[in-house]
Structure 1
Amino acid sequence: MLLSLVLHMYSMCCVLPAAVLLGTAPTYVLAWGAWRLLSAFLPSRFYQAVDDRLYCIYQSMVLFFFENYTGVQILLYGDLPKNKENIIYLANHQSTVDWIVADILAIRQNALGHVRYVLKDGLKWLPLYGCYFSQMYLVIFPEGTRYNPELTKVISASQTFAAQEGLPVLKHVLTPRIKATHVAFDSMKNYLDAVYDVTVAFEGTVDDRGQRRQAPSMAEFLCKECPKIHIHIDRIDKKDVPEEQVYMKRWLHERFEIKDKLLIEFYESLDPERRNKFPGESVNSKLSLKKTLPSFLILSGLTAGMLMTEAGRKLYVKTWIYGTLIGCLWVSIKA
């Protein structure tokens, strides 16, 4: 009986946030759709300003669960973000939580409403959100897929490709692909400020034998199984990024060589004082509830109010159904 109770409580740690995050989706989409119609005849800057604000409200609620609710510690190293900038965010990719890490940095620069992601193609079919998320804080994971130490064939193929290309073989990251990075940089260079080269490590992902384990999934993270996230940031001015694709390819791989060295020291250092940390001083960055709780209360309150009436419940269900179908139709046309 006690074990069943413990397991039930453990599952609820994940179910409650997931239910709220998914359950408020129709409310958010309805608010966005209403503003889209109302602003149809207004200058685009008015639409964009409110759209960014709505997006910020939803993403702030996401961070309420992923930071305040889980109690995770965020440790920042390197070039700590201060002022809001137009950036391309390049990071290693190892978990379904990685896009949350981009939000974690963005909210600390008051840039959360401006974050957009280069998504894996299949994610554009996500109900309600897929066509919207794939729209300035552009997040790119150049590895193309997640690094998972259990998928040895993927890692081996990546290392073989690097060797065939005459590039250094990487151990804790996959060989980066250049296409998305080059297209993004070429499209944004006229108003880009910098590239943030971000290296992320989740503490507790090395077993007793010193072997790296799979990074925590979104469910595990919400169940409070990740005590600390270590984030190392290198800010690279746009003038220091080569524009031609052939040179950018080499530059990108060199950036991932640096990531690999950071992660080797983090996971494998023989010095206990240097293991489980990046070089240099760290800043324990705690997110205030004032940044996230109001968004949680607004969206959950509006959703609860809608579900209390029969008309509201019908609108809620129709938004899920028709919103998903319209979104799928839209991405099909764009494809």
Structure 2
Amino acid sequence: MLLSLVLHTYSMGYLLPGILLLGSAPTYLLAWTLWRVLSALLPTRLYQSVDDRLYCIYQNMVLFFFENYTGVQILLYGDLPKNKENVIYLANHQCTVDWIVADMLAARQNALGHVRYVLKDGLRWLPLYGFYFAQHGGIFVKRSANFNEKEMRKKLQSYVNAGTPMYLVIFPEGTRYSVSQTKLLSASQAFAAQRGLPVLKHVLTPRVKATHVAFDSMKSHLDAIYDVTVVYEGNEKRPGEKTDSPSMTEFLCKQCPKLHIHFDRIDKSEVPEEQEHMKKWLHERFEIKDKLLIEFYDSPDPERRNKFPGESVHSRLSVKKTLPSVLILGSLTVVMLMTESGRRLYVGTWLYGTILSCLWCVIKT
């Protein structure tokens, strides 16, 4: 009985983070809305600066749970710059935690508020979050023939013109790699083979459109490309075999003891500007990722397996940096819920905020 209770409690380890992260969303949106109204007549840069700071507060709360709460050991390979830069962040995509890995690296450069995402279009329908991500600089894109290049260029150019700090996160595979989705992997490999490209094993064939539009629109504003390869340790069984990477709930239940992050900074001068050349360059970058992952999972040498080449650094994010955000947003939410008017405002924000978010989505689609 006691053992069952312990196991049940362990498996529900995502409840506290989930309650606080989702529960504080209306509080955050109200604070942002207040600032949006107050800043209506102020310079755009001032609004953006405070918005970045607000975003940093919420995302530090996210990192408190995904780093400090889980106790995951983060191993960094490569030299992550200490200073903030305007960058495009390219990474392999395996699970929803990938979004938070980008936050982890940005936080170590004090650039957390600058993180903005290129997201698949369906995510704009997320209640409250979808609307806010767009306001913070996120860009929703449709795949293949429905990709709206003009709209993406227009939005990115507006950020460049405003001098907006950019840590733009793109997952060029377009969807998550999953060992259980054999048809998806086979289709990706067949696509590469038909075009005479090397077939990839542990990543999908990358799509170049979003990356090219981002680079072409922002090249005068950019410092570099960050090429990041991520492995969630704990999802491998034996050489050549692994399971899917953890979901957010599994990660919060501490099912990922180690996170391996291989980092490579590429100066923008090394990136080809013409789309066809960039397509070849991007595939070559994913070939490098694939070789890193093959060695990580499949190396016949036990000494080289379960790690990337080179020295790693165990990187810790101080709880002093993340806990204040939990206390601030948690306290504000509790105070709001202590009064009847506060509870009405809280429920109304969820209800009407969701409705207005949906109406916004309808208008934008």
* Range into which the TM-score falls when normalised by the shorter chain: over 0.9
From 325, 329, 333, the equivalent of 1:299 is 329
Structure 1 unaligned regions, length at least 5? none
Q: Structure 1 residue 208: deviation in Å?
A: 3.8
Cα separation, 2, equivalents of 1:12 and 1:169: 40
Could you report, residue by residue, the CA deviation over 1:64-121 in whole angstroms, capped at 9, with x for unpaired residues?
A: 0000000001110113231100000000000110000000000000000010111111
Question: Which residues of 2 match residues 280-319 of structure 1 at below 5 A?
Answer: 280-319=310-349
Which residue does 1:41 correspond to in 2? 41
Root-mean-square deviation (CA), in Å?
1.0
Which residue does 1:226 correspond to in 2? 256
The DSSP-based 3-state class of the residue aligned with 1:264 is: helix
Cα separation, 1, equivalents of 2:120 and 2:71: 29
From 200, 207, 211, the equivalent of 1:170 is 200
Deviant stretches of 4+, over 6 Å: none
Q: Which residue identity is paired with 1:173? A: V
Q: Which residue identity is paired with 2:168? A: L
Which residue does 1:26 correspond to in 2? 26
Which residue does 2:63 correspond to in 1? 63
Which residue does 2:271 correspond to in 1? 241
Q: Does 1:79 align with 2:53?
A: no
Cα separation, 1, equivalents of 2:319 and 2:291: 35
Cα separation, 2, equivalents of 1:210 and 1:265: 10
Q: Structure 1 residue 188: deviation in Å?
A: 1.1
Q: Which residue identity is paired with 1:105? A: L
Could you report, residue by residue, the CA deviation over 1:145-171 in whole angstroms, capped at 9, with x for unpaired residues?
A: 111001100000000000001100000
Q: Structure 1 residue 3: deviation in Å?
A: 4.2
The DSSP-based 3-state class of the residue aligned with 1:167 is: coil
The DSSP-based 3-state class of the residue aligned with 2:353 is: helix
The DSSP-based 3-state class of the residue aligned with 2:119 is: coil
Q: Structure 1 residue 132: deviation in Å?
A: 2.0
Which residue does 1:206 correspond to in 2? 236
Q: Does 1:255 align with 2:285?
A: yes
Q: Does 1:16 align with 2:16?
A: yes
Which residue does 1:332 correspond to in 2? 362
Cα separation, 1, equivalents of 2:110 and 2:73: 19
TM-score (normalizing by structure 1): 0.98
From 218, 232, 240, the equivalent of 1:188 is 218
Question: Which residues of 2 match residues 110-125 of structure 1 at below 5 A?
Answer: 110-125=110-125
- Aligned-pair identity (%): 77
Structure 2 unaligned regions, length at least 5? 138-165
Cα separation, 2, equivalents of 1:289 and 1:326: 36
TM-score (normalizing by structure 2): 0.90
Q: Which residue identity is paired with 1:75? A: L
8 Å CA contact 1:81–1:105 kept in 2: the answer is no
The DSSP-based 3-state class of the residue aligned with 1:110 is: coil
The DSSP-based 3-state class of the residue aligned with 1:89 is: strand
Could you report, residue by residue, the CA deviation over 1:242-269 in whole angstroms, capped at 9, with x for unpaired residues?
A: 1111111110000000000000001111
Could you report, residue by residue, the CA deviation over 1:259-318 in whole angstroms, capped at 9, with x for unpaired residues?
A: 000000011111111111100000100110111000010000000010010000000001
Q: Structure 1 residue 186: deviation in Å?
A: 1.3
Could you report, residue by residue, the CA deviation over 1:28-82 in whole angstroms, capped at 9, with x for unpaired residues?
A: 0000000000011111111111100000000000000000000001110113231
The DSSP-based 3-state class of the residue aligned with 2:186 is: helix
The DSSP-based 3-state class of the residue aligned with 1:255 is: helix
Cα separation, 1, equivalents of 2:196 and 2:240: 29
Q: Structure 1 residue 190: deviation in Å?
A: 1.2
Cα separation, 1, equivalents of 2:336 and 2:317: 30
Q: Which residue identity is paired with 1:290? A: K
Cα separation, 2, equivalents of 1:272 and 1:144: 33
Number of residue pairs the alignment of both structures matches? 335
Cα separation, 1, equivalents of 2:287 and 2:23: 41
8 Å CA contact 2:297–2:306 kept in 1: the answer is yes
The DSSP-based 3-state class of the residue aligned with 1:88 is: strand
Which residue does 1:144 correspond to in 2? 174
The DSSP-based 3-state class of the residue aligned with 1:119 is: strand
Q: Which residue identity is paired with 1:70? A: T
Cα separation, 2, equivalents of 1:49 and 1:167: 43
